[in-house]
Amino acid sequence: MTFIDQWLRTDIRNINAYHVPSAKNMLKMDAMESPFGVPEELKDEFLEYISYSEVNRYPDANANELQATLRSLMDIPKDFGVLLGNGSDELIQLLSLACSSGELIMSFEPSFVMYELVSKFAQLNYHGMPLDENFEIDLKSTLLAIQSKKPKLIFIAYPNNPTGNSFDYDVIKEIIRSTDALVVLDEAYYAYSEKSFLAEIKNFSNLVVLRTISKIGFAGLRLGLLVGSQETIEQLNKLRLPYNINILTQVSANFLLKDRQRIVSNAKIIINERRRLYDELSLIQSLTVYPSQANFLLIKAENAKLLLESLKDSRILIKGFAISTQLENFVRISVGEAKENNVLLECIKEFYG
Ligand SMILES: *Cc1c(COP(=O)(O)O)cnc(C)c1O
């Protein structure tokens, strides 16, 4: 037995590590990144701008300028509080730290894996309510489960990852009303979706909204935000490690996120490409494509595992799911720019001949 084996909490030893596949020289269509990087014509100015960062100093602990930039980009009302995280993953973890050990986190299955993972880290219980065959919430059984299990925290990805749909708006409102849990609406894909719960924060004291810039072109900066009432954010802010947003992230985001027009028009390009991919893929007999409000498509595919391998041989990375799970015969494909999507379409058509 190694030292760490006898030293470590058994439940941590038993966790399967979060696996990120190597993407060297691959067309990345597995992780919902945006295909759009820093525009060529802005690169010199961007470099100049970040070169003035005082890397010998700690960053602004409250990241005030960055807060203002994000508020303006996402139209966050003045009277809401904003808490910044090193990616929204960090904020999911921070919320779990606010719970007492043994309390319960509830979410839905299938959904974002991080909710269950952080509940394990923090020695909390986790319950995933199964979605129905259309990946919608079953309200009746959810309300019963809330009544009997009394969750402390409920995560709802809106739109949901990996299914791509947004759950029914009124169903979610019923859930928020029915519980004294803190309900977290995770809007990682807000830029690609028609609706948001942001404005509902003023109507429900137990509602917070989680956002990130990862899916709109800035995954490498690692920056997420939690929006809630001033009182809620002020208390949760005590759990944030000081200086969690590094200076290069603060400065880069301040420069890059001011270009709201470009961010919005890039999102429009992806939404159009999503429609085109949906239409083209739906013509292939062996596939069932699910409607999506996000920058990816969930697809039920004949020979899903072989398709994945075949695309990998063509240097295209998409996401598959573990065998003996509900999504074993599915793949998830991030929507890229036109030329990437065309390469993907070619390869998939060839695979199904
Ligand atoms: C991608 C994703 C996140 C993680 O975002 P980061 O800000 O990159 O940590 C959170 N929630 C959902 C639902 C996601 O799909």
The answer on 238 and 302 residing in a single domain is no
Report the candidate in 109, 112, 115 with the shortest Cα–Cα distance to residue 142: 109
Angle at 210 between CA 222 and CA 258, to 5 degrees: 55
Range 13-29 average pLDDT: 86
What is the CB < 6 Å shell around ligand 1?
Answer: 32, 87-89, 112, 157, 161, 186, 188, 212, 214, 219, 224
Q: Which atom of ligand 1 is nearest to the CA of 214?
A: 8
pLDDT at 231 over 90: yes
154, 142 contact by CB (below 8 A): no
CA of 75: how far to CAs of 22, 198, 229, in Å? 36, 9, 15
Q: Which two tokens stand for residue 52?
A: 């003035």
CB atoms within 10 A of CB 234: 12
CATH number of the domain that residue 322 is part of: 3.90.1150.10
**For residue 7, how far is its CA from the centre of ligand 1 (angstroms)?**
31
The closest-lying atom of ligand 1 relative to the alpha carbon of residue 112 is 13
Residue 247's SS3 state is: helix
Q: What angle do CA 118, 212, 216 make, to 5 degrees?
A: 135
Per-residue pLDDT at 19 exceeds 80: no
CA of 353 to the centre of ligand 1 (A): 35
Nearest ligand 1 atom, CA 215: 1
DSSP 191: G
- Is 241 in the same domain as 161? yes
Query: Region 283-291: what's the mean pLDDT?
Result: 97
| Assigned domain for 125 exists | yes
Q: Tally the domains of the chain.
A: 2
In terms of domains, do 197 and 162 share one? yes
Residues ≥6 apart with Cβ < 8 Å to 203:
none
pLDDT at residue 217 in the model: 98
* 122-175 pLDDT, tens digit each: 999 999 999 999 999 999 999 999 999 999 999 999 999 999 999 999 999 999
Domain co-membership, 266 together with 254: no
Q: Note whether 197 and 279 are same-domain residues.
A: no
Query: Domain range spanning residue 253?
Result: 53-258
- Same-domain status, 249 and 267: no
User: Among 202-216, 263-277, 315-329, which is the least confidently predicted range?
Assistant: 315-329
CA of 98 to the centre of ligand 1 (A): 19
Banded model confidence at residue 23, pLDDT cuts 50, 70, 90: confident
Give the pLDDT mean for 193-218. Answer: 98
pLDDT of residue 22 exceeding 90, the answer is no
Confidence of residue 24 (pLDDT cuts 50, 70, 90): confident
Residues 74 and 153 occupy one common structural domain: yes
The span from the CA of 87 to the CA of 32, in Å, is: 14
- Residue 47: count of CB within 10 angstroms of its CB: 10
Backbone angles phi, psi at 336, to 5 degrees: -105, -160
Distance between CA 291 and CA 267 in Å, rounded? 17
The sign of the dihedral angle between the CA atoms of 82, 85, 91, 95 is negative
Nearest CA to ligand 1 atom 1: 188
Average predicted confidence (pLDDT) for the chain: 96
Same domain assignment for residues 177 and 290: no
User: Which atom of ligand 1 is the closest one to the Cα of 294?
Assistant: 15
Is residue 136 domain-shared with residue 159, that is, in the same domain? yes
